[in-house]
Amino acid sequence: MPRPEISHGAPTPALLRALDRRDPVLGAARRRVAPFPSYPDASGGRTHFHALGRAIVHQQLAGAAARTIHGRVCRLTPGSGFPTAEHVMALSEEELRGAGLSGAKFASLRDLAERSLDGRLKLRSIGRMADEDIIDVLVQVRGIGRWTAQMFLMSRLARLDVLAPDDLGLREGCKRLDGLKERPTPKELSSRGAVWAPLRSVASWVLWRLTEDTP
């Protein structure tokens, strides 16, 4: 089977100019906001396992609380890094819960570790897979939904054509971009975003930045 064509890394100036021509409104907004960042985001985790584990720890928590618990989990093993899959399996539920993880997050982290070790989740080669195939594999992990998988694609694997239409920030950003009275539905945002391919990650960045402006 031929290897899927994967768009990742930094968008070329030619691709950005083409995006601006296809959607001049987005193009004008793109030139107003901070430049699209250089992915992968090193702050999101030293390894793919760390990035996904960190995402589980941070779910439904405010920034300060998430960082505190993440730091406690890191201190459960030698060194300053996040526990490896082997370390997670060696740690007791009492230790991980004592660091601040809920029962559900403990179960999710254990499931992530188990799948990484038994081969159901091949993190070393995941970067060679197509976007939708990666999402299909990741959502089988307990506690990882489609949005988390999409954020992994964008920030960890530097995929350039990712749009998460269920994201409230993106819907709000689209509302501001187009001067709408109401936020578009996920289906409407998905349809609106078709013109942004193959740089829907860049468009997403612009929409998120627009939500930082005072309405």
Every domain range in the chain assigned CATH 1.10.1670.40: 13-39+161-210
- Please answer whether residues 196 and 202 qualify as being in contact, where contact means their C-beta atoms are separated by less than 8 angstroms: yes
Under 8 Å CB-to-CB from 134, ≥6 apart: which residues?
A: 126, 149, 152, 153, 157
Every domain range in the chain assigned CATH 1.10.340.30: 42-156
- Please answer whether residues 7 and 17 qualify as being in contact, where contact means their C-beta atoms are separated by less than 8 angstroms: no
pLDDT value of position 79: 78
Measured between alpha carbons, how far is residue 215 from residues 36, 98, 169 in Å? 22, 42, 13
pLDDT tens, residue by residue, 184-204: 999 999 999 999 999 999 999
User: Both tokens of residue 7?
Assistant: 């768009």
Using DSSP's 3-state secondary structure scheme, residue 8 falls into strand
pLDDT value of position 3: 45
Residues β-bridged to residue 8: 159
pLDDT value of position 60: 86
- Please answer whether residues 176 and 33 qualify as being in contact, where contact means their C-beta atoms are separated by less than 8 angstroms: no
pLDDT value of position 81: 87
Rounded distance between C-alpha atoms, residue 153 and residue 134, angstroms: 8
pLDDT value of position 43: 60
pLDDT value of position 214: 62
Closest to 52 (Cα-Cα) out of 198, 195, 155? 155
Measured between alpha carbons, how far is residue 113 from residues 37, 42, 70, 84, 154 in Å? 30, 21, 16, 8, 22
CATH fold for domain 13-39+161-210 = Endonuclease Iii, domain 2 (1.10.1670)
CATH 1.10.340.30 fits 42-156, yes or no: yes
Q: Which residues of the chain have pLDDT under 70?
A: 1-9, 40-45, 213-215
pLDDT value of position 107: 97
